[in-house]
Amino acid sequence: MKNTERELVDQITGGTGAPIQETRIEIQSYARGQRLDKFVAEHFHISRAAAHKRLEGATLDGAEVKAAYTLKGDEVLELPEAPEVPPQAPQVLAADVSLPPILFEDEHFLVIDKPRGLVVHAGAGETGATLVEVLRAHGKALSSSGPEDRAGIVHRLDKDTTGTMVIAKTNEAHEFLAKAFEERRVGKVYLALCCGVPRTPGRIEAPIARHPSNRLKMAVAPHGRGATTLYRVVKSWPKLALCEVDLLTGRTHQIRVHFQFMGNAIVGDEMYGGQKRALETAASPEIRHALQNLEGQALHAWKLEFEHPVSGETMKFQAPLHQDFQDVLDALEEHARVTAPPERAPSLHARD
């Protein structure tokens, strides 16, 4: 669509495209030569994938039509009734979100214990308050290196991953810490509860790329970026294992993807299948209940170690497991205790 035509549409619709409930569109001659799905996406200001869904059951001049059809212009598109869009939940204001627990703070950086459900910075599909906004709302100074919506961010944790995270307050600290992460001079140890019991110790080397059909997921792929994960099992039960995990690279969803790849998806991880599998194998009602109360993947950034950007001192931080994760471990331990075979009593008979 030409800019002047787009501006006209924006004037009429307030810049958000035509109402998605519209069922009859008179396609003008200017659209000649354009694919139908592209036209619909631009008309409603929606994605191409959403346009394909909107075109299900559509007709053009009374005949069924495919999304890839090339428009001739001066045609009439009839669309089925659009499904009712549920009202969006009110946006959470950053000032209403509690400041995450601070493990350490000086004039150069701070280290927090990140809670579940808090996204680090703005991104696709995220509408709630971000960690950056929450820190600002609570008066924390942040570095100005990089994009404004990522102020202070030198590494990230997934929205539902908990634990230690360092945030830069000055540009000097930001540049030093970002380089330290890039050069793998930062020690990061995670605790992960996984399905099954993997061989231990283990090393996973598998490249990671964006999932080919689900843009919110990642996947192991030959054309992906190199990724290496080290792990060792520290405690195991018949169907689950607690692992200590060390990242040698920092790809998006790396631990979650690598553990799924080796057949040991992370417990609580809806996206990569770990929660469904864990619930299917729960050995007791108490374990099932604890699993159902998990609010995300059982993955915790336990320890963080790096050199102070100014003094050069070695800084070490550790965050305790969050309660929902700990509750699952407690349920597993209790079940193991009550189902353990009784100890064999010593024989009272003297040997001949």
297 neighbors 278 (Cβ within 8 angstroms): no
313 neighbors 307 (Cβ within 8 angstroms): yes
Cβ partners under 8 Å of residue 62, min gap 6: 78
Compute the distance between CA of residue 83 and CA of residue 243 in angstroms, rounded to an integer: 45
Q: Indicate the DSSP class of residue 99.
A: P
Other beta carbons within 10 angstroms of residue 151's beta carbon come to 22
231 neighbors 304 (Cβ within 8 angstroms): no
Compute the distance between CA of residue 173 and CA of residue 152 in angstroms, rounded to an integer: 9
Compute the distance between CA of residue 39 and CA of residue 289 in angstroms, rounded to an integer: 49
Catalytic-labelled residue, pool 37, 113, 158, 160: 158
Active site residue 158: yes
3 state DSSP class of 175: helix
264 neighbors 194 (Cβ within 8 angstroms): yes
Omega before 101 within 30 of 0, i.e. cis: no
CA dihedral (293, 298, 302, 308) positive or negative: negative
Q: Indicate the DSSP class of residue 198.
A: -
Omega before 212 within 30 of 0, i.e. cis: no
Helix (H) or strand (E) holding 260: helix 254-261
242 neighbors 235 (Cβ within 8 angstroms): yes
Catalytic residues: 158
